[in-house]
Amino acid sequence: MSNTQKIYVAGHRGMVGSAIVRTLQAMDCHVADAPRNDGGVIITRTHAELDLCNQAAVNAFFAQENPTQVYLAAAKVGGIHANNTFPADFIYQNLMMQANVIEAAFRHGVQKLLFLGSSCIYPRLAPQPMREDALLTGPLEPTNEPYAIAKIAGIKLCESYNRQYGASHGVDYRSVMPTNLYGPGDNYHPENSHVIPALIRRFHEAKVASAPSVAIWGSGTPKREFLYVDDMAAASVFVMNLDQATYQQHTTPMQSHINVGFGSDITIAEVAQAIKEAVGYQGQITFDTTKPDGAPRKLMDSTRLNALGWQAKVNLKQGLTLAYQDFETTQSQGPL
d(CA 316, CA 196): 11
- Whether 8 sits among the annotated catalytic residues: the reply is no
For residue 290, count other CB atoms closer than 10 A to its CB: 7
3-state percent helix, strand, coil for the chain, nearest multiple of 5? 45, 15, 40
DSSP-assigned letters across all residues of 287-307: EETTS----SEE-B--HHHHH
Q: What angle do CA 227, 228, 230 make, to 5 degrees?
A: 125
Buried/exposed code over 4-19 (b: 16+ C-beta within 10 A; e: otherwise): ebbbbbbbbebbbbbb
Q: What is the DSSP code (8-state) at residue 228?
A: E
Mark out the alpha helices in 46-134 (DSSP H runs): 55-65, 80-85, 87-107
CA within 13 Å, CB half, 7: 29
71 burial via Cβ count (<10 Å: 0-12, 13-18, 19+): buried
Marked catalytic residue, from 8, 71, 122, 147: 147
- Full strand arrangement of the beta sheet holding 297-298: 266-267, 223-224, 297-298
43 burial via Cβ count (<10 Å: 0-12, 13-18, 19+): buried
Q: What angle do CA 98, 183, 201 make, to 5 degrees?
A: 110
DSSP-assigned letters across all residues of 169-225: H--EEEEEEE-EEESTT----TTTS-HHHHHHHHHHHHHHHT-SEEEEES-S--EE-
Positions marked active-site: 147
